[in-house]
Amino acid sequence: MSQQPVNPIELANGITLSPEEQRKLSWTGDHSAEWFSRLPGLILDWCERWKITLDSERPAINFNLVLFGVSEELGPVAIKTSPPHREVTAEIEAVRLSQGPGVVRLFESDPDVAYMIQERVIPGIMLRQHIDSGDIDDVQATTIAATCMKRFWSPAPHNDKLITLREWFKALYEHRDLHQGDGRIPTACIDLAVHHADHLLATEQDRVTVHGDLNPGNILRNQKGGWTIIDPKGLAAERGYEIGQWMLNPYGLHTWPNLVEVLDTRLDLLSTQLELDRYRLWQWSVAHSMLSECWTVAGDAVDAEGLHCVEILDALCQLPEARRDSELRGGR
């Protein structure tokens, strides 16, 4: 067990990491203490190398430390770093492989130190904010997401830097084996997700580099009026898996009164625009919904409103694909 941080850490430009913020960054576990001791010097080195003046502003910490600044050579930049971890390596690899229009520009990175210097997307307004304000409706947002997916996908290399779906889905199988019907997620929901995950993983089609967390918070408005993708998880996976996270978002989707209709329309749009089989997309949505719920339960983040993804799964099971699935399984 890693030692809990007790003292603030002073970084450049008057930025301080409180013990609580350090704990949030310590999710990677054992080796974070050494990384924290090196962090002030590392940041100074990166800033000197690229002539970066850091802003005092920084986003709230959510698994990563992000610092904004301006480089004399590069313009507005964001330094993103966290203690070295498998997922950090995968993210760096995914951003590197997917460089091109619509993907955040990567200037420098080092997976061993776990940092990236990227462009800072300006104005950087999240697609989620446009949805919340009503400026963009769900059909428009899903169309934007489909375009972003296609821009991000690139051939997956034959190395171990990206995360495979079999690795990713371990949480689903571990939850099933650990709880054996006694967990917080209904057994029937887990069983259904496992059934489809078994089939999909056994028949996984051509792998590409997928984002893995493409939601309206990771698509930002850029200076040209288009959209830029940020913060991938970095998976080597079948294209169809990409829609899973979109089908669970934005936050609060489970409360929408027309949820079944929304999910139905999304599947139609995504199937058409991505040229992928709608039934298989539905299967990925079912499997991912419970994988996401397993992550939530494992992190003890279930709030008073309950299991949101279970409610979305219930809506997915009211679509025509659920009837087809029942017929294929002999009505069981």
pLDDT in tens, the chain (332 residues): 455 657 899 998 888 898 888 888 887 665 678 889 999 999 999 999 999 999 987 778 878 999 999 999 999 999 999 998 999 999 999 999 999 999 999 999 999 889 999 999 999 999 999 999 999 999 999 999 999 999 999 999 988 999 999 999 999 999 999 988 778 899 999 999 999 999 999 999 989 999 999 999 999 999 999 999 999 999 999 999 999 999 999 999 999 999 999 999 999 999 999 999 999 999 999 999 999 999 998 875 555 456 899 999 999 999 999 987 776 666 54
**Residue 4: inside a domain:** no
Q: Which two tokens stand for residue 115?
A: 């940092």
Q: Which uninterrupted H or E stretch holds 274? A: helix 259-274
CATH code of residue 99: 3.30.200.20
pLDDT attached to residue 58: 78
Looking at the fold, whether 195 and 242 belong to one and the same domain comes out as yes
Measured CA to CA, the distance from residue 230 to residue 293 in angstroms comes to: 23
CATH code of residue 318: 3.90.1200.10
Looking at the fold, whether 86 and 137 belong to one and the same domain comes out as no
Looking at the fold, whether 64 and 210 belong to one and the same domain comes out as no
**Residue 2: inside a domain:** no
Looking at the fold, whether 54 and 152 belong to one and the same domain comes out as no
Which structural domain, as residue segments, surrounds residue 216? 127-328
Domain final position from 57, 88, 119: 119
Q: Please name which of 313, 281, 98, 66 lies closest in space to residue 185, comparing C-alpha atoms.
A: 313
Looking at the fold, whether 322 and 174 belong to one and the same domain comes out as yes
Looking at the fold, whether 140 and 264 belong to one and the same domain comes out as yes
Looking at the fold, whether 169 and 302 belong to one and the same domain comes out as yes
- How many other C-beta atoms are found inside a 10 Å radius of the C-beta of residue 70? 14
Number of domains observed in the structure of the chain: 2
Measured CA to CA, the distance from residue 276 to residue 203 in angstroms comes to: 15
Looking at the fold, whether 191 and 261 belong to one and the same domain comes out as yes
Q: Please name which of 256, 271, 240, 270 lies closest in space to residue 314, comparing C-alpha atoms.
A: 256
Q: Which uninterrupted H or E stretch holds 5? A: none
SS3 70: strand
DSSP symbols for 32-61 = HHHHHHHHHHHHHHHHHHHTEEEPS--PPP
pTM for the model stands at 0.93
**Residue 300: inside a domain:** yes
Looking at the fold, whether 273 and 210 belong to one and the same domain comes out as yes
